[in-house]
Structure 1
């Protein structure tokens, strides 16, 4: 079965409230459906800039708006879907075989990524036509 945007879901993460602030734990295979092997974050993205612009062959990701807000444009080669992330206890699961563009960053936004694999340049699909060719072979 070819991955589609319908395999990408917003998931609610646990939120433990305390008068002194909130905490959101993220547990492998409980809160997210994979083991986290890499964590990174984007910040200080200038207004009007777009990030992402790629897909992955094998990598699963969970994207969280740790602070501020931004949009994620998902594209499976046939259908596009815009998802807004603006709460730190909601995350977007992105499966392999999905193109993503990150846009409309608010001032001070911090985008946190939990990834299923360590960095591997060979897993990236950075050219949209290459992405479509990869999808047609699935």
Structure 2
């Protein structure tokens, strides 16, 4: 797996009454959470198609499933998220696409920063240039 991406097992605190996962900044999530959002009702439309410059994210599929395609400028990797007990941690300049949302998919994303359009790279060629420049340093 790319060094800027990893699957994180979330603490399963459930018992015979049902499932429970506690998510805490700088504990189960490797950064301070400043923003969260969730995606739902997105069955036939891929999403993402961008990278971030500074933002760290943890994506958790609370219900259903979806497939991520992640690209660090050198290699691509596909990851299926289909359990609320794991989160996909993405750090650094990584192009991300989300595909194949199940009908019941609810994807929660925790972010290290508040929304800033300046942190987005929305053009794939600009992303490749940014990765090349980052590797020269």
Q: Contact between 1:5 and 1:98, CA under 8 Å: does it hold in 2?
A: no
- 1:136: how far off? 1.2
5+ residue gaps, structure 2: none
Normalised by the size of structure 1, how large is the TM-score?
0.94
Of 120, 124, 131 in structure 2, the residue corresponding to residue 128 of structure 1 is 124
RMSD of aligned Cα (Å) = 1.1
Q: Deviations over 1:81-131 (max 9, x none)?
A: 000000001000001200000001111101100000000000000000011
What does residue 114 of structure 1 align with? 110
Normalised by the size of structure 2, how large is the TM-score?
0.94
5+ residue gaps, structure 1: none
- 1:25: how far off? 0.4
What does residue 65 of structure 2 align with? 69
Matched positions, count: 134
- 1:19: how far off? 1.9
Q: Deviations over 1:8-59 (max 9, x none)?
A: 0001000112222111001111111100000000000032x11000000000
Superposed counterparts of 1:40-119, under 5 Å: 40-47=37-44, 49-119=45-115
- Indicate whether 1:10 and 2:4 are aligned: no
| Structure 1 residue ranges, 4+ long, deviating more than 3 angstroms after superposition | none
- 1:5: how far off? 2.5
- 1:6: how far off? 2.4
- Following the alignment from structure 1 to structure 2, what is the Cα–Cα distance between the partners of residues 117 and 97? 15
